[in-house]
Amino acid sequence: MAFFALTGKKLQEIVRAAEGDANFRLVWGGLALTSCMATWLLKKVLLRHSKELPPPAVPGVPVLGNLLQMREKRPHKTFTEWAEKYGPIYTVKMGSQTMVVISSPELVKEAMITKFSSISTRKMSKALSILTAQKKMVSMSDFGAEHRMLKKILVTNLLGHSPQKANRQIRMNAFFKLVDSIFEEMKNSQGLINVREHVKQALFPFTLYQVLGRDPDSVFVKELGRNVPRWEMFQALVLDPLEAVIEVDWRDFFPALKWVPNRVEAKVRAVDNKRNAIVGALIAEQRQLLANGKPSDCYLDILLTEATHLSEKQLIMTTWEPIIESADTTLVTIEWAMYEIAKSPMVQERLLKEINEVASARLVVEDDLPKLKYLDAVVKETLRKYPPVSLLPPRHVDEAVKLGGFYVKKGWQIIINAYGISYNKQTWPNPEVWNPERVYNDATLDMGIKDHRILPFGTGKRLCAGITQAMYIIPMVVAHCVQHFQWALPPQDDSKSVVDTVFLTTHKLHPLEALAYPRTPSHLPTV
């Protein structure tokens, strides 16, 4: 205490002696000014950091982050549950990777449209990189010159309004085939129909026909040394890639260890090699037909004669992409729609009444679709409750950006939870209930074009190129099935029927088997 008292007195004497010293006053003033500036800068830094708070973080464990909480292959449901707790934007840690999960229409618009330039780059898993040949698919490529070129080829020659109009009869033939196959099976099945199998058997040949101008029963694949039948083509071109793409490669979450060998990569590369060999064989056959003067006037002919600037890898991917997307995503939605219709007699009867009022005793045709408002509601409500792609492929944050008022760092990833948006309770009361009435005559629900309450086809500049074709095929298949048959679930059906599973798309875990009772003796005439 004596020391502090002595020091205090001495300090007072020094200050009194220096009060008249001009140099001392100058130094003291400088110190005071420096202190004020330091205080101001500190406040500014603190204020800036308070305005740059990251989104809420889901608690995890060191090193692994939230990986252990994502062991089930239904991440869309886990993300949706977390959105109810942490809000429409939050972060998760997947190993060393930080991901921002978005689950509201407003934030989707901000991320996908307003600030698209900051987060337009695709972030690929190892499996997806292999299966897309390093982003050489329209749906998976980064937005830029190559993306625009590939999308223009696909839309101009296959998926746009003009080529879709030209392919109308090909689609009608597929619808006839579907209805006829159901009538044929009813002769021996006592009415129990595997809906998925019948739709697949109708849509896959249609998909091949619009791409190849033919529906081959088999193709000789040099790399395999044998003919590959159509059922194996479907397995190799559709099912195997969908299963391989969700294989979990732990190196995706720890990029520093990407050099470590992994059996998952070997499995994915085997799927990729077989897919490439089969598509390559189909292309080789098409080249031979052209050389022999037998053009098919189809999409692949156009690629081979007019898109000669494409590399062989681009050609394979540009040929394969419409096959897998047409054969799978529409199948998923049709099966879910028929499941809901089969268990909802009142909806089925109202839909049939509308169809009869519009088409009477003839077959529904595509020109009828604008008049079938309730059918449109059935399809849109199915796409809401069962979005075919639950999680849109991740995007890389190229530059720091604010989303929803939160600071999102450069290098993070953005995941759009399409399922969570469809189940957002603020937008959709009782979202687990399938109710076409909620979207009936809702002209603003354009499925991602301007409205973001449901995103079955993505949104913004990355809107799916196949939306036009999908919105022909899905309602037409549903209409023809209801027009020709009454549907019901079998008595033994139970809750397991509504369980979904995720490939790249949200399949029904158990194929739909429903009872069908004919309303007509055969398929109706078109006039």
Residue ranges of the annotated binding site for heme are 464
Q: Which string of DSSP letters, residue by residue, matches 311-356?
A: -HHHHHHHHHHHHHHHHHHHHHHHHHHHHHHHT-HHHHHHHHHHHH
- CA 59 to each of CA 56, 85, 189, 374: distance values in angstroms, whole numbers, following the listed order: 9, 12, 53, 44
CB-based burial of residue 189 (10 Å sphere; 0-12 exposed, 13-18 middle, 19+ buried)? middle
Taken as a whole, the chain contains a residue count of: 527
Binding site per annotation, positions: 464
Beta bridge partners of 518: 485
Residues 253 and 67 sit within 8 Å (Cβ to Cβ): yes
Quick one: the chain helix, strand, coil %, rounded to 5? 55, 10, 30
Residues 417 and 101 sit within 8 Å (Cβ to Cβ): yes
Place of tokens 């397995």: 235
Nearest to 70 by CA among 514, 381, 391: 391
Nearest to 423 by CA among 367, 465, 396, 385: 385
Place of tokens 């010159």: 145
Calpha distance 510→344 (Å, rounded): 19
Which phi and psi (to 5°) does residue 390 adopt? -70, -40
Calpha distance 370→389 (Å, rounded): 26
